[in-house]
Chains A and B, each alone.
Chain A
Amino acid sequence: MWERVIDLLKNSVETQDIEKLFLIEPLDVSPVKISLIIPNDSVKKLLKEKYKDEFKKSLKTVFGKLPKIELVIKSNEKDNLNIKYAFENFVVGPSNQLAYAASVAVSENPAKAYNPLFIYGGVGLGKTHLLHAIGNAVKRNKPNSKVLYISSEEFTNELINSIQHKQMAQFRNKYRNLDCLLIDDIQFISKKERTEEEFFHTFNSLYESQKQIVITSDKPPSEIQDIENRLKSRFSWGLIVDIQPPELETRIAIIQKKAELFNLKLSPEIVEFIAQNISSNVREIEGALIKISAFKSIMRRSVTLSLVKTTLQDIVMRKEKMLTAENIQKTVARHFEISIEELKSSKRNKEILIPREIAMYLTRKITKNSLPEIKAKFGVKSHATIINACKKIEKEIEKNPELREKIKEIEKEITNV
């Protein structure tokens, strides 16, 4: 049908415009409505102004009457947005309420509400979801706005490529002409001087032109190590919000929502079981549901509490395996570049003693080991040694930010299974 319309139309347009008309792609063609994808504004003008009458005449001839016309401008710029992530499917709870509200406000009033918006929090808590949701909402409200989602690693790679291929002008042009830049995991630009420099100028350019910037990180700006202070201070110009791990009720809501997506019917008993057993992050909850869903569809097993228990057992077991005194000793020793034997020895020099006390502190904090068990694992003579080590490290964490960061990093490595 569309070919016939074009055939008729081309007889009444100027030769230089014929080629442009062939760039139009029919999206949906029916006698009631015709939707067309238009490559750019100039072609749109041809149909809406220059050849408006001829276009309508051709349509009437082919369809017998004039259908409703919808022209959609083709978007050539990749925005990297995943439409799957929207505000509508973000489960809000006390742990993420502020981040959610700030994100909605930013998407409704880009560059006016909070600029930049800095969202930080642990792995799998929904930072990336909010970034995409902001981008999708901005695009929905203003379809012509230039939005880009990018991880800081991709930003770095693109920068390296541009330097290599001498295309810095294009790189700058791309980033500095955006209406909304959504950059994920900014902490990864630390120690990358050229990336920091380039991002600094991109930030300034966008900020000065009153364009929205949204940044995510695993920690607040002040705690990102090895990143220039001028960047840290800029990150703090707008609003800084955090996302905490969801509490039980939110986890239940998340499970119910995700189960719907996976087409899983879970009884309240099963939902509660998962929520009780997976507490650290949403990605883990999603992982558990994917596993259950795979068992259901591949092995045609009905989703019973017993299936869920055995499925989650793998996740729980893996976690328990990681959360052992042995693994903590191994991880701490690696971080402080000493051997496990040294860590477990009775040496009192600072380089050995501090890691040993940290290992004891972490074992007490994150494993289910009792004091006698920890005593045995570390080969110390009394419980008091462990208790004193824990107290000492707790005090150190209060006053020594560098050590606090290091311990946090080790703990994250151990608990992020």
Chain B
Amino acid sequence: MLIKTKELREAIINASFSISKDKESSLYNVLIETRNNKMEIKSQNNITKLTQTLNTDQEENLKILTDPQKITNILKEIKDETIEIKKEDNILKISSGNFKTKLKTLNPELFSETKKDTNKNKICNIEAEKLKKLIKETIFCPDKNDIAREYTGIYLEIKNKVTKATATDHYRLINVSTENKTEIETEFIIENSGANLINKIPIEGITEIYSSEKEIYIKCGNISIYSKIIKGNFPDYNQILLDKETSNIIELDREELKEAVKRSSVLSENREISININANEKELLISSQNQEGEIAEDKINFSTIKANDNLIIKLDSKFVLDFINQITPKTVTLLYRTSEEPIMFEASEDNFLYKYIMTPIIE
């Protein structure tokens, strides 16, 4: 059968993101299945499953179970637009011009495909770009090793025409929201590896999201992504968001803040920085020092939205940079109350609103 080289290569690379990590497992391989001029490339592990459909000239049924890494390496070296694929016994033959290769394949029956969940319901349509952004901006935060499973994934809420993604590692919490037209209200915690898969797969256009009791299913063009969801309740994070009415609020230039944090934390051995907000002078002094007592400090100005109180707070510089590095607005607002309470950064860009809470370092 003939197939486009680039399409197959990309599909195999995508599939490799959803294979098992266990090299001994048959699920460490991808299944290529053809039927009625369609080729399906499937991969799955204990959390996620991915299927991508391509067009082919093959009418007969054919099943190939093979190592995605080997086939990707071969396809990367082929410059021709199309390649020819044949399977003889357990040998996969790939040819392109004078180049020929023979690969051993496994018995396709070893690929024990999980049964389709027939009880899934459609939740909504959402632009792939929006969904990917929600995931991308929160994926750095979950604590993958937390014993409480609900903290290991990303909490997605679709309600009141807003879609929100939230994750926490107990030191900080990120909450990103964007508008969505759907009337349906739902919430679930997607497994970390499911979120990672959505983040990595290049999907475009409108995605359809379906959910069942145990998994979510995302369909976008010729790609279908399945991920298990985590049973459990994500705690009511709204309770810890800082309230504008009862907080001091200052506005900072994001780039200035980023550079100042980077510079000031140079000498810090444990990433700890001290932030000193002088509300009267509208100055923010960031400093750090090492065990020898050597000091690095930087000062930036801010504009006050509503701030009467000064603040001296110790923060983890990496946590600050994790947030301000990934967003692009010109300014960020900082909400604070006392040096023992969490602070909250807030920023908005395009149609996204970011809230990022950090707990202070208290000795």
* Chain B nearest Cβ from A19, distance in angstroms: 22
B200 within 8 A of A: no
Partner of A306, one of B168, B236, B340, B359: B340
> What residues of chain A lie closer than 8 Å to B153, measured between beta carbons?
none
A318 within 8 A of B: yes
Q: Which of A299, A300, A314 has the most CB of B within 10 A?
A: A299
A403 within 8 A of B: no
Partner of A298, one of B235, B243, B340: B235
B62 within 8 A of A: no
Q: Size class of B's contact patch?
A: 20 to 34
Partner of A294, one of B235, B243, B245, B338: B235
Contact status of A294 and B342, CB under 8 A, knowing A299-B170, A314-B246, A321-B245: no
Is A298 a contact of B173 with CB atoms below 8 Å? yes
CB-nearest residue of chain A to B241: A294
Query: What is the number of residues of chain A that contact chain B, defined by CB distance less than 8 Å?
Result: 17
Contact status of A290 and B337, CB under 8 A, knowing A298-B170, A300-B170: no
CB-nearest residue of chain B to A292: B239
Cα distance A299–B341 in the bound complex, in angstroms: 11
Contact status of A318 and B235, CB under 8 A, knowing A295-B240, A299-B240: no
A346 within 8 A of B: no
- Contact digits for B169-194, partner A, Cβ 8 Å, 1 yes 0 no: 01101000000000000000000000
Is B240 a contact of A298 with CB atoms below 8 Å? yes
- Contact digits for A280-305, partner B, Cβ 8 Å, 1 yes 0 no: 00000000001101110111110000
A222 within 8 A of B: no
Cα distance A297–B146 in the bound complex, in angstroms: 12
Contact status of A318 and B240, CB under 8 A, knowing A298-B173, A300-B170, A310-B341: no
Is B237 a contact of A298 with CB atoms below 8 Å? yes
* Interface of chain B residues 230 through 262 with chain A (CB within 8 A): 235-240, 243, 245-246
17 pairs from A and B in contact (CB 8 Å cutoff): A290-B236, A293-B235, A294-B235, A294-B236, A295-B240, A297-B148, A298-B168, A298-B170, A298-B240, A299-B170, A299-B171, A299-B342, A299-B359, A310-B341, A313-B246, A318-B243, A318-B245
| Chain A residues engaging chain B, CB cutoff 8 angstroms | 290-291, 293-295, 297-301, 306, 310, 313-314, 317-318, 321
* Known contacts A314-B243, A321-B245, then 16 further A-B pairs from the complex at CB < 8 Å, ordered by chain A residue: A290-B236, A290-B239, A291-B239, A293-B239, A294-B235, A294-B238, A295-B239, A298-B170, A298-B173, A299-B171, A301-B359, A310-B337, A310-B338, A310-B341, A314-B246, A317-B245
List the 6 closest A-B pairs by CB distance, nearest first.
Answer: A294-B239, A300-B170, A317-B246, A291-B239, A297-B235, A314-B246
